Amino acid sequence: MGLTTSKILSLLALCALVLGLAACGGDEKRTAADVPADAIALLGDTEVPRSEFDALMKRAEQSYKAQKRDFPKNGTPEYQDLRTRAVSFLVQRYQFRSEAEELGVEVSDEDAEKELAKIKKDSFEGSDEKFKEALKREGLTEEQALAELYDRILQERLYEKVTEDIAISDKEVTDYYEKNKQQFSTPASRSVAHIIVKTKAKADELRAEIEGGADFAALAKANSTDKSSAKKGGKIPVTKGSTVPAFDKIAFELETGEVSAPVKTQFGWHIIKALGDTKESKATPIADVEKSIKEQLRTQKKNDSLQEWLKSIEKKYEGETVYAAGFEPPKTETGTGTETTPSVTSEE
């Protein structure tokens, strides 16, 4: 029986599908041998250049020299750690560039140049000479510095893009305020005076003198080991919870004008006098802190969202990334993580 036209077309479509799947399977099975000699990794079809890795390691070595530290020798755990961090940083750089393209996030040469001019002005007083000296210390050319700035701006805009829809509701603000009311309250406070001495016997002696009519302030000036408050007759302002528990308890239990029995703390023996009434704790109205709470919650949400996004990026590209021999990242539970390079944005 011959094949009809419809069957031929169906067969061709099936062959195309099989070939397509085979090609995809081939990509997934790529090995270190597929990475070009001048690259350290392949991210899909994108090469991560060996030249960028070499430049990054050179910068690290330059940084060690600037700090008068010996650069780790090849083969040591410290050297391997530097290599791992450099590879991770560069691979993530190309992941971000790929994501930026997908999300329509762009950075122009003019953007990077404007940022560079701002850095020169803010950190180097507009001096090209000082800026070039800083670049030299970092082992960077101005062209490389511009590339670093490009990636930094791209990363910032990516973060803005993936968190742009994050909002905080009024209910979230209210719930946070109610659960953390103490944080938005002024604690109770009062003015007291104290005399601190090393022994209970001395404290008992001084308290007896006070009960006999001696002037508290004069005794504080003459006997207290707290020289700072002694100059003021022992007077100190206290807020509830700000002093050691034993002192705090008595200071807020005394009637105004009352003098305590000797109180023991790790600092010695105290005699405490309440000089004024307690000013009770006062809550700050939610209207006064609503804006700061909202910003705090938004920042936290953005950070959480970014962490989830970074994990998703790592997972997304895990199967698309193949490393050259010797550049494979060590196996860890948390992955390679985010790496940073020495800063070139300010003088040391």
Q: Does residue 228 fall inside a structural domain?
A: yes
Q: Indicate which CATH number applies to the domain containing 61.
A: 1.10.4030
Nearest alpha carbon to residue 42 among 58, 57, 55, 26: 26
Domain of 112? 28-166+305-323
Q: Are residues 36 and 152 in the same domain?
A: yes
Query: Do 87 and 76 meet the contact criterion of CB atoms below 8 Å apart?
Result: no
pLDDT tens per residue across all 348 residues of the chain = 333 333 323 333 333 332 233 233 334 578 989 999 999 999 988 999 999 999 999 989 988 888 889 999 999 999 999 999 999 999 999 999 999 999 999 999 999 999 999 999 999 988 989 998 888 888 788 888 898 899 999 999 999 999 999 999 999 999 999 999 888 988 999 999 999 999 999 999 999 999 999 999 999 999 999 999 999 999 999 999 999 999 999 999 999 999 999 999 999 999 999 999 999 999 899 999 999 999 999 999 999 999 999 999 989 998 889 999 999 988 765 444 444 443 333 333
Of 280, 314, 339, the residue at which a domain comes to its end is: 280
Q: Does residue 332 fall inside a structural domain?
A: no
pTM here is 0.62
Distance CA 49, CA 323 (A): 11
- Name the token pair of 247: 């002192």
What are the Cα distances from residue 322, in Å, to 82, 229, 238, 282, 311?
A: 19, 68, 63, 61, 18
Q: Does residue 160 fall inside a structural domain?
A: yes
Q: Indicate which CATH number applies to the domain containing 241.
A: 3.10.50.40
Of 220, 247, 280, the residue at which a domain comes to its end is: 280
Nearest alpha carbon to residue 344 among 46, 112, 105, 85: 112
In 164-285, which ranges are continuous DSSP H helix?
Answer: 170-179, 200-211, 216-223, 227-230, 245-253
Nearest alpha carbon to residue 320 among 99, 147, 64: 99
Q: Are residues 156 and 38 in the same domain?
A: yes
Write out pLDDT tens, residues 117-146: 999 999 998 898 999 888 888 878 888 889
Contacts of 164 (CB under 8 A, 6+ apart): none
Q: Are residues 275 and 312 in the same domain?
A: no
Query: Do 152 and 146 meet the contact criterion of CB atoms below 8 Å apart?
Result: no
Q: Does residue 71 fall inside a structural domain?
A: yes
Distance CA 295, CA 173 (A): 10
Q: Are residues 216 and 158 in the same domain?
A: no
Domains in the chain, number: 2
Query: What's the DSSP call for residue 342?
Result: -
Write out pLDDT tens, residues 176-200: 999 998 889 889 999 999 999 999 9
